């Protein structure tokens, strides 16, 4: 099989490419250049996709004896990931740029180009498991190494994309074993730190980064009843569940801390309240996809699990597709209220270990409405 190995310059993708070679596939390595100024995308272990990463990927490819190329996806990355990130925050939502990158870059733009060039599959270093059911349908499952499982960020993949994907690390019990294998293969990245945080904001200052692009616009901080408690310098700097940096001079009547409950970009206000008000009884989204075979009757509520952050726990829930009021959306009702869920986040639905699908959250229903 002709395989395109996406090589980020990290240890996971290098070992994944090596395993694809060992399996007898015809492998070509490719590194995605995602910035016209690659030196700006790393600060220590933060960020990725730098010239340093490209060189690390090339060294691994040289050891494997496979062809290696660098493809410029910087314009597509800016439009589909960076600009989308800014637009979502401007709209008062909390986006997940890693989900957008997997959806629109690694498994849309990259896979599309790979198929056009005659490749059969794209191989990555994600920790997730692909299986095939009795009817020949591909299924995406959680990795065996639960602490490293990355099936959540792959929840955006469709059945067609799964059919052309390869995740050689999914059955590996731990990241330590991957590093050990990399060292045995002579890869210089064996002990390279994992990148983290948002790659295009390597210093971690999301508020400052957004302020430079959106600008500061003073507005009011309100309580749930609409009373003004203070002022802010830009609603884009706040996310649901945030506690620190609210700069409210007057303490709450009960003396307990306040949290951001809602960001309203239309009137540039931020709503705050008690921690209990962060509890969410229902979430729903119009942009949903199925990762493989969809439920036979998705409009009938079915038991499932839901995950709303990359490193959060799976929560028991029921889900259904609703077509009420002329709007088709995936509605998820957790057995116990979820905490700090915000529009723009991604909810991934599981059936046991299998990823069933996902939706970008458009609306939430509070477990403690203000007029209760």
The DSSP string of 97-140 is: HHHHIIIIIIIIIHHHHHHHTT-SEEE----EEEEE-TTS-EEE
- Cα 245 to the chain's mean position, in Å? 25
Kindly provide the residue ranges of all beta strands, DSSP E only, lying in 277-372, ordered along the sequence.
279-285, 288-290, 302-307, 315-322, 329-334, 338-339, 346-351, 354-360, 363-366
Q: What's the token pair of residue 291?
A: 């990762």
Per DSSP, the three-state class of 12 is helix
Report d(CA 19, CA 13) in Å as an integer: 10
98 is known as an active-site residue = no
199 is catalytic: yes
Q: Are strands 279-285 and 338-339 parallel, antiparallel or unpaired?
A: antiparallel
DSSP annotation of 17 reads H
Torsion sign, CA atoms 357, 361, 362, 367? positive
**Facing residues of 255 across strands?**
none
Give yes or no for a contact between 280 and 365, defined as CB atoms under 8 angstroms apart: yes
Catalytic residue among 48, 49, 123, 199: 199
The Cα 113–Cα 30 span in angstroms is 12
Catalytic option among 48, 49, 101, 123 = 101
Listed in sequence order, the residues at least 6 apart from 176 whose beta carbon sits closer than 8 Å to its beta carbon are none
Look-up: residue for tokens 């889900």?
Answer: 319
Residue with structure tokens 């057995």? 335
Catalytic (active-site) positions: 101, 199
């Amino acid at each position: 099989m002709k395989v395109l190995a996406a090589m980020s310059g990290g240890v996971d993708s290098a070992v994944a490419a090596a395993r694809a070679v060992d399996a007898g596939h015809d492998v070509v390595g490719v590194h995605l250049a995602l910035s016209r100024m690659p030196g700006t995308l790393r600060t220590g272990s933060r960020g990725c996709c730098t010239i340093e990463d490209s060189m690390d990927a090339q060294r691994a490819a040289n050891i494997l004896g496979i062809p290696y190329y660098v493809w410029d996806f910087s314009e597509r990355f800016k439009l589909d990931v960076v600009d989308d990130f800014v637009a979502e925050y401007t709209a008062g939502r909390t986006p997940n740029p890693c989900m957008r990158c997997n959806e629109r870059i690694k498994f849309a733009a990259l896979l599309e180009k790979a198929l056009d060039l005659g490749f059969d599959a794209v191989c990555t270093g994600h920790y997730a498991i692909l299986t095939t059911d009795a009817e020949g349908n591909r299924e995406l499952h959680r990795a065996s190494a639960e602490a490293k499982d990355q099936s959540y960020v792959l929840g955006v993949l469709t059945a067609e994309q799964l059919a052309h994907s390869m995740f050689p690390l999914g059955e590996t019990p731990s990241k330590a074993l991957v590093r050990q294998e990399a060292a045995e293969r002579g890869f210089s990245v064996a002990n390279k730190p994992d990148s983290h945080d948002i790659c295009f904001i390597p210093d971690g200052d999301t508020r400052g980064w957004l302020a430079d692009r959106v600008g500061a616009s003073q507005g009011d901080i309100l309580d749930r009843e609409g009373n003004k408690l203070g002022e802010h310098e830009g609603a884009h700097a706040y996310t649901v569940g945030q506690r620190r940096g609210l700069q409210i001079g007057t303490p709450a009547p009960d003396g307990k801390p306040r949290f951001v409950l809602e960001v309203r970009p239309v009137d540039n206000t931020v709503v705050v309240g008690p921690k209990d008000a962060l509890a969410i009884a229902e979430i729903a989204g119009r942009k949903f996809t199925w990762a493989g075979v969809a439920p036979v009757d998705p409009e009938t509520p079915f038991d499932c699990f839901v995950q709303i952050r990359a490193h959060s726990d799976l929560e028991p829930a029921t889900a259904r597709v609703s077509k009420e009021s002329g709007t088709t959306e995936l509605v998820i009702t957790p057995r116990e209220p979820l905490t700090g869920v915000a529009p723009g986040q991604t909810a991934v639905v599981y059936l046991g270990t299998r990823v069933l699908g996902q939706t970008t959250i458009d609306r939430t229903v509070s477990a403690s409405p203000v007029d209760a």
